[in-house]
């Protein structure tokens, strides 16, 4: 799409918004966020995949040692993703931004929890009359899912790393499904971000970026700071 081509109205389809044009400043902002989250996700994904490979090769002790570091990578990714979603939620509510949106699809999730949440979002979206309400509802579901998946992953990884006498196969399956579903949440969040930026007035970009920065770096006393230790799906459904 050429730079001189006018933007569609904010109610344009998600498909159009995803592939559509952005002014240079917004495009640069999107790329910075997308690349940053991709880097955090890759650190998390690579560490888990290496642990799985060691397990498959029979090196169980090494795989358990490596799995011990994955909760930290998972949480660094999940906490920042939650912060981005919170910034989208805050700015959209405060300024009445109305991006295009489609509900979550259960087919894009592997875990039972993710599939159930996606179905609930689909049902709720069918009764919400406004596009803005649908957008905010989807953000709410994604925020809850990211937190729940992070907690679930940390719990299973800790049990494996500690060598607890449990069903290891079931725990490995939890890690695999949680990684997949966190990746789906990530891709869905990037679509929300692109649609949001398409609807965002140009003069609000800096304010939105500040909101993101504030959400990602909350000003809290050191004593209150809590460090949570914690496959690839298409960016766009049907791609």
Residue-level pLDDT at 148: 97
Distance CA 88, CA 13 (A): 18
Spell out the alpha helix ranges (H) of the chain. 14-19, 24-56, 60-67, 70-95, 112-127, 131-161, 168-199, 205-216
Residue-level pLDDT at 142: 98
CATH of the domain at 85: 1.20.120
Residue-level pLDDT at 59: 86
Residue-level pLDDT at 233: 42
Tell me the three state secondary structure of residue 109: coil
Give backbone dihedrals phi and psi of 100, rounded to 5 degrees, phi first. Answer: -75, 155
Nearest alpha-carbon partner for 109 in 120, 96, 125, 95: 120
In a domain, residue 128? The reply is no
In a domain, residue 70? The reply is yes
In a domain, residue 115? The reply is no
In a domain, residue 133? The reply is no
In a domain, residue 42? The reply is yes
Residue-level pLDDT at 2: 39
Instruction: State the residue range of the domain holding 74.
Output: 23-100+141-216
Residue 131 to residues 46, 134, 162, 187, Cα–Cα distance (Å): 37, 5, 47, 20
Nearest alpha-carbon partner for 171 in 182, 186, 160: 160
In a domain, residue 169? The reply is yes
The total number of structural domains in the chain stands at 1
Q: What is the pLDDT along the chain (239 residues), one digit of tens a residue?
A: 333 344 444 444 898 999 999 999 999 999 999 999 999 999 999 999 999 999 888 888 888 888 999 999 999 999 999 999 999 999 999 999 999 999 999 999 999 999 999 999 999 998 877 999 999 999 999 999 999 999 999 999 998 888 755 568 889 999 999 999 999 999 999 999 999 999 999 999 999 999 999 999 876 543 433 433 434 444 444 44
In a domain, residue 222? The reply is no
The answer to whether 45 and 183 are in contact (CB under 8 A) is yes
Residue-level pLDDT at 11: 42
Full-prediction pTM beyond 0.75?
yes
Supply angle C-alpha 217, 218, 221, rounded to 5: 120
In a domain, residue 49? The reply is yes
- Count of beta carbons in the 10 Å neighbourhood of residue 1: 10
């Amino acid at each position: 799409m050429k730079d001189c081509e006018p933007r569609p109205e904010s109610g344009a389809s998600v498909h159009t918004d995803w592939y559509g044009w952005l002014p240079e400043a917004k495009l640069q902002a999107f790329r910075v966020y997308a690349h940053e989250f991709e880097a955090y996700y890759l650190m998390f994904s690579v560490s888990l995949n290496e642990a799985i490979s060691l397990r498959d090769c029979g090196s169980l002790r090494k795989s358990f040692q490596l799995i011990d570091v994955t909760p930290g990578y998972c949480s660094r990714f999940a906490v920042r993703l939650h912060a981005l979603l919170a910034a989208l939620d805050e700015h959209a509510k405060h300024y009445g931004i109305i991006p295009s949106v489609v509900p979550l699809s259960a087919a894009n999730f592997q875990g039972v929890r993710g599939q159930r949440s996606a179905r609930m979002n689909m049902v709720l979206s069918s009764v919400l009359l406004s596009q803005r309400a649908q957008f905010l509802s989807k953000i709410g579901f994604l925020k809850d899912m990211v937190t729940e998946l992070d907690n679930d992953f940390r719990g299973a990884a800790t049990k494996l790393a500690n060598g607890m006498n449990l069903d290891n196969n079931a725990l490995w399956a939890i890690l695999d499904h949680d990684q997949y579903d966190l990746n789906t949440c990530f891709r869905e969040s990037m679509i929300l971000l692109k649609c949001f930026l398409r609807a965002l007035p140009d003069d609000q970009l800096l304010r939105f970026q500040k909101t993101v920065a504030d959400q990602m770096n909350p000003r809290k006393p050191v004593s209150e700071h809590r460090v949570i230790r914690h496959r690839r799906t298409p960016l766009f459904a049907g791609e």
